[in-house]
Structure 1
Amino acid sequence: MKHPLEQFVYCPKCGSNKFTVHNEKAKKCHACGFVYYFNSSAATVAFIVNHNNELLVCRRAKEPAKGTLDLPGGFIDMAETGEEGVIREVLEETGLVVKEAIYQFSLPNLYMYSGFEVHTLDMFFVCKVEDTSHIKAMDDVADTFFLPLNKIQIEEFGLGSIRKGLQKYINSLLSNDNTEW
């Protein structure tokens, strides 16, 4: 696997091709002196459980992993908090209005976007939604529906960090005995 910095040939500040590895995290331009540190992009994932102990899941409409199951979420916009990002993503993808987003944990991830490998830090939130009766698949979601927690098959979820995060979430529910299995 290539180092992520190998994807960048030209300095993003001046356009020079004198953009070389500075250290394991950065490249430096020898023309203008700019140092670029390669950092993870922030992303969110929502766990939304209804009163029937069912988890809101989506079917991916686009690559990567088109057609597989997923959870609502996506990239955080600039100047947006994690909570604001997950609330916006849930609304854009499902039409649901999140009343509260409670941070749970984060996982590093590799996400292929338009042929470009993006390193992300996926932040997982439990999201409280008052009214789940008007779910609608929108944006990059082909379908969205509630799935009983005890019927979830993690291997049906196409993205690695979602599978890991979902397993961690289910394990926490089992250890807290918050749900009927």
Structure 2
Amino acid sequence: MTTTHPLELFRFCPKCGSANFIENNEKSKKCRDCGFVYYFNSSAAVVAVIENDEGRILVSRRAKAPAQGALDLPGGFVDMYETAEEAAKREVLEETCLHVNNLRYLFSLPNIYVYSDFEVHTVDMFFLCNVSDFRALKAQDDVAEVFFMDKNQLNPEDFGLASIRKGIKNLLKHSL
């Protein structure tokens, strides 16, 4: 992880373009010219925990960086104007071709997701997703493969992203 604060990368005011954009406090910068204060906040992301009738968990293998080749759970960023629930359903469909019937919020974890060598601070919201028909299951989008694993075979260290590792530990500790 970087030792510099993420706000160091923001050199110009996003409102007026001024270079007179200075540190306001540990969470924000302020433009001396127009007065705009920019707060650096986490991006929203979702993670889908999908269990089949045999109690096995749907796992994916990442096709792209970061953590290419490592295990993962379906999920991704929440788009603008989208609820977290809508994002979870969309991400599951995009990555697995499966339709989520309903879902239930489980917990959230902070994360740093490195995208194009840029650290994106996120809050990852985990959802237990119900899928009734798995016949369409197919790896899509940024997923190399999808498969089911027995809970007792889940090893958090096989998962490439820190929040997913922590989430798997949490799921195993509290069982679904």
In structure 1, the partner of 2:149 is: 147
Per the TM alignment, residue 23 of structure 1 is displaced from its structure 2 partner at its CA by 0.8
TM-score, normalised to structure 2, is: 0.96
Runs of 4+ in 1 over 3 A off after TM superposition: none
In structure 2, the partner of 1:15 is: 17
TM-score, normalised to structure 1, is: 0.94
SS at match of 1:98: coil
Match of 2:165 among 151, 163, 166: 163
Rounded to whole Å, the distance in 2 between the matches of 1:99 and 1:70 is 21
In structure 2, the partner of 1:3 is: 5
User: Is 2:86 the partner of 1:78?
Assistant: no
Alpha-carbon RMSD across the aligned residues, in angstroms, is 0.9
Q: Deviation digits for residues 37-63 of structure 1, max 9, x if unmatched?
A: 000000000100101121101100111
In structure 2, the partner of 1:134 is: 136
Gaps of 5+ in 1: none
Q: Deviation digits for residues 84-108 of structure 1, max 9, x if unmatched?
A: 1101000000000001110000001
Identical positions, percent:
60
Kindly provide the amino acid, as one letter, of the partner of residue 65 in structure 2.
Answer: E
